[in-house]
Amino acid sequence: MAKILCLALNPAIDISSDAEVVRHTHKTRTHNQQQFPGGGGINVARVIATLGGRCELAFLSGGETGKLLEAMLQPLPILERPFAIHDPVRVAYAVHETSTNLEYRFVPEGPLVTESELAPVINAVCESDADYIVASGSLPRGAPHDTYVRLAEAARARGARFILDTSGPALAAALSSAQMYLVKPSLGEFEAFVGEKLTHDLVGPVAQDYVRRGIAEYIAVTLGGDGAILVSSDKIIRVPAIDVPVNSATGAGDSFVAGIVWALSEGRDIEDAFHVGQAAGAAAVMTAGTELCRREDVLRLYGASTRP
Ligand SMILES: Nc1ncnc2c1ncn2[C@@H]1O[C@H](COP(=O)(O)OP(=O)(O)OP(=O)(O)O)[C@@H](O)[C@H]1O
Ligand SMILES: [Mg+2]
């Protein structure tokens, strides 16, 4: 089985709870509190573990919340590699208002990191023997926008396949100059980068242009409830979403990425892995709140997914 290294440069502790009504000034009494280790790279590692894969997880960890995060990850079948930073890991809070079925999400800006705190993570990638290196999530404050470009270079130099799921300036830097194996923007993230709205028919050809320029071997653009598009230099595959009861879209993108990487690490080809990703994304929307996806749902939905 191929080796996987997940990178989480801006992890979080995700706390969620329910309240009947959220009001200003008054105390909002909550119940059903749940807490999970979270943030892009951590979620990807958790889903890979759920699917039965083994991965190493390199993450920035500071303060008392960093210690808590490490303790929360400890029971999971993930090889933890915390990298110390000064500032504390952020705590994100979501309240589900049961009377309206609306969700209020509070996401702190998180730690400010220095170049010297980031350097050991870049070194770890330079020395890694992983076959797949997956970076997911936003960059922490203080990290240069081209941090993922540098990590992609380090991975390439080791002969590893680099997979990226990020947004904003970090995605823009990567789509401008990185050489990756796979990059997974959502439609909104891709549109923000190209600077225009794209019809589903246009996404494939526009993404293919980046593939042909050598930015990535594959680009997967996810369309939420409308499915996903996989682009290579000579092929555009579009698949509809798998029809499932929708509970919470939280974690669909992370589960999609984890499904693809896990399947690739098992030796499946990219198209097959793409279908596993679709199944994992759909399985994630079936679960409530910040819960990601369940293995049995992924395997069942994979069997039901549409082949082009
Ligand atoms: N409503 C849905 N029904 C079925 N599958 C879905 C649905 N929403 C998402 N998915 C699956 O999950 C994949 C990823 O979803 P989406 O495009 O919302 O990712 P994202 O925007 O990166 O999400 P995130 O908010 O987690 O970053 C989709 O391509 C699809 O396969
Ligand atoms: Mg996403």
In a domain, 98, yes or no: yes
Q: Which of 225, 149, 215 is nearest to 187 (CA)?
A: 225
DSSP type of residue 139: P
Tell me, what's the pLDDT at 306? Answer: 58
pLDDT in tens, 55-88: 999 999 999 999 999 999 999 999 999 999 999 9
Q: Give residue 250's pLDDT band: very low, low, confident or very high (50, 70, 90).
A: confident
Question: 247 phi and psi, to 5 degrees?
Answer: -110, -55
Q: Of how many residues is the chain composed?
A: 308
Query: Which is nearest to 270 in space by CA: 298, 299, 243, 235?
Result: 235
Ligand 1 atom showing the smallest separation from residue 228 Cα:
29
Provide the residue range defining the domain that includes 135: 4-20+30-304
CATH number of the domain where residue 204 is located: 3.40.1190.20
State the first-to-last Cα distance of the chain, in angstroms, to the nearest integer: 28
pLDDT in tens, 27-36: 999 999 999 9
pLDDT category of residue 177 using cuts at 50, 70 and 90 = very high
pTM of the predicted model as reported, rounded to 2 decimal places: 0.95
Residue 201 covered by a domain: yes
Assigned domain for 228 exists: yes
Which of 42, 163, 186, 298 to mutate to test ligand 1, by most ligand atoms within 8 A of the CB atom? Answer: 186
48: Cβ contacts below 8 Å, ≥ 6 apart: 4, 6, 54, 55, 78, 258, 261, 262, 265
**CB 117 less than 6 A from any atom of ligand 1:** no
Cα 48 to middle of ligand 2, angstroms? 16
**Ligand 1 pocket: which of 10, 165, 222 to mutate (most atoms within 8 A of CB):** 222
CA of 278 to the centre of ligand 1 (A): 8
Within a domain: 279: yes
Q: How many domains does the chain have?
A: 1
CB atoms within 10 A of CB 109: 10
The closest of 48, 73, 33 to 136, measured between CA atoms, is 48
Query: 225 in ligand 1 pocket by Cβ < 6 Å?
Result: yes
Q: Phi/psi of residue 37, each to 5°?
A: -70, 135
Q: Which residues contact 207 (CB under 8 A, 6 or more apart)?
A: 190, 219, 221, 229, 231, 236
Q: What is the pLDDT of residue 210?
A: 98
Is residue 25 one of the residues assigned to a domain?
A: no
User: Is residue 226 domain-resident?
Assistant: yes
Judge whether 180 lies within some domain.
Answer: yes
Distance CA 61, CA 39 (A): 12
Is the minimum distance from the CB of 239 to ligand 1 under 6 angstroms? no
Is residue 166 domain-resident?
yes
Active site residue 201: no
